[in-house]
Chains A and B, each alone.
Chain A
Amino acid sequence: MTALTLIGLSHHVAPVELRERVTLDAAAAAELARSLGDAVCLSTCNRTELYLAGADEEAAVAALEELAGESLGGVLYRLHEDEAALHLFRVAAGLDSLVPGEGEILGQVRDAYEAVTPGPVLDHVFRQALGVGKRVRTETAIGESPASVSSAAAALAAQVFGELRGRRVLLVGAGRIGELAAANLSSRGAQIAYVANRTEDAGRELAQRFGAEAVRLDELAAKLGEVDVVVCSTAAPEQILRAQDVPARRRTPLFFIDIAVPRDVDPEIAKLGGCFLYDIDDLEAVVAETLSGRRAEAERAEQLVDEEAERFRKWRASLDVVPAIASLRARAEEIRSAELAKVRVSEDERRTLESVTAQILNKLLHLPTVRMKEAAVSADGAVYADAVKHLFGLEED
């Protein structure tokens, strides 16, 4: 039977300085997998793993060491059979990720699998892994809560406005996290309407990227009446939005996301009716809380992964008896065809005989086939297979 092996390293055992040397882009990962034979290479920023079905383990280790430029004896892990499958299922479910339940890894597993043409064992284990990933996401709430400050900001805005489509955003500052928050809001349908920045060129460039209008910082107060969400992330040493800047008598809420340190937004704004203000500490507290929720869901996800690993173990065990079953059926079919060939009948009668004998054969072999597969799951599989081979004289096959 073809052996399933996993060789790799991940963020659990290898520092980023090492991981970045063995990280491969999609094309290079597929190329490496093909060079090793029946293999799949999963390479992300957190892990580089080679899944092998009967391929040369030492060649795989050598390939990784060549990429790293050093011996990897201390950090490489090697897992075999059920343990390798269980590991892949946990990876696909996001349970082995830095942030439990993160969804990106499932797409990366799919890409790695689809980049090559794996043999039956890898094909089965990867298809099952993709199913496990989907199952965990639909049957648990592990992926529902945001895991970063920027996605939490967008989720909070959605908690106020519901559908964000058509909501207008004012982005103040061209900071990285602010830009990410704006991108998150945009991906949920919000429109980045204005971008304001102390350095006007950078502001204009960012505005162009979001299809927004660039405005000056001294125009901010005037724009507050035209937007629903304000994202601030400047490096300004003083507050740039004060409570008196907020227009009175608004009919819709105004949501402020202040990611800047020192803060850009006057905390008094939070006390105004219809205004909501979240600063970086608030957002980090929300993320910490949702992550603890994810960990609770991860326990349920682990149970699902264990169930799937058990299913894989049974499938692997059933492979022990597959050759015996195939030989038995082939021998029976051979006898049936030979006996039918001796009979002289009309075409119609032959068709009837073909059909009847095929049905008899199937019915006769159905129970032994089922029993052998059942026995394969226990330790008796090989004994049953040997017995069938001996009883029906299949050894010569």
Chain B
Amino acid sequence: MVEALFWPALLGYGEAALAYASTRTTRAATWGVRLGWLAQTALLAVQAARADGFPWAGWSASLDLFVWLIVGAYLIWGCRPRYRLLGLAVMPLAAALFVVARIGGAMHAHPNSGYGTAFLVLHVGLVLAAFAGFTLAAALAGLYLWEERRLKRRAADILRLRLPPLASLELLTRRTVAVSLPLLTLGLVAGFVRLREEHRGLDALEAVTLLTWAVYGGFVGLRPTGRRAAYLALGGFALVIVARLVLSARHFT
């Protein structure tokens, strides 16, 4: 069943990743995102129904959940035609991470991690939701930098290949970070409470996550504008990538 749902989800995401390349296939791309996300939602629901406790505590399974959260966040407002290029950035990443999650064994049942379900939902769920938000914010920041560069260079096709205005991209980046940061804060607090109970120090992932929190905290607190804000959002995302793809395997074991 899980296997049968993986392929439609991947097909949807893959089709969207390709179809966003052309203005004429934007609608097909949006439907690819929707159908793929529905298939992945069903896949996660089946996993949840079968599991004894929180099924996404492992490295690859949490990556699977991460992909679902990214696409879900993108679906909320990113599917509008003028955000087509955002889809072109987000959907290939989502499809690639989805494949990586599968190769890592995300579709198979994982042994119980030993932690309570409530803790895992709070900690893993919130941290991943925050990371998904930061991923979207980074894609928006990348789009901002590209559009700003085109405007600076006075590209003749600036109104033909039309992106959202700079002000909208900046505002959406700020809002996405502002929503994601409290989620990360709560997720970290839950993790630190458990850490204290276990009387152990920070591992590399936890240290990088803390640094990520500091970067985005600075983003919200200092309210940088323009290019500086975009670079800061991308810097924070680099830390998310390190945390999610480089250091998370050891953390989950």
Contacts and interface: CB of A to CB of B under 8 A. Distances in A.
Interface stretch (B94-102, B156-164, B245-253): B156-164
A276 B163 CA distance: 17
B160 A289 contact: yes
Interface in A249-299: 251-253, 270, 273-274, 276-278, 282, 285-286, 288-290, 293
B218 interface: no
A46 interface: no
B226 A253 contact: yes
A202 interface: no
A160 B166 contact: yes
Contacts of A251: 225
Given A252-B225, A276-B151, A161 B156 contact: no
B167 A155 contact: no
A200 B72 CA distance: 58
A289 B168 contact: no
Contacts, number: 59
B159 A156 contact: yes
A74 interface: no
A159 interface: yes
Interface in B224-250: 225-227
Contact of B152 (A156, A161, A252, A270): A270
Interface residues of B, number: 19
A219 B157 CA distance: 35
Interface centre among A159, A273, A276, A290 (most CB of B within 10 A): A159
A286 B152 CA distance: 13
B226 A156 contact: no
Interface residues of A, number: 27
A162 B160 contact: no
A381 interface: no
B226 A159 contact: no
B111 interface: no
Contact of A162 (B152, B156, B157, B167): B167
A158 interface: yes
Interface in B125-164: 147, 151-152, 154, 156-160, 162-164
Contacts of B159: 145-146, 152, 155-156, 159, 286, 289-290
Contact of B151 (A145, A146, A159, A252): A159
Interface of A: 145-146, 152, 155-156, 158-163, 251-253, 270, 273-274, 276-278, 282, 285-286, 288-290, 293
11 contacts: A145-B160, A159-B158, A159-B163, A159-B165, A160-B151, A160-B167, A161-B165, A253-B166, A270-B154, A277-B154, A282-B156
Interface of B: 147, 151-152, 154, 156-160, 162-168, 225-227
Given A159-B163, A277-B154, 14 more contacts: A145-B159, A145-B160, A156-B159, A159-B151, A159-B162, A160-B166, A161-B167, A162-B168, A163-B167, A278-B154, A289-B159, A290-B159, A290-B160, A293-B160
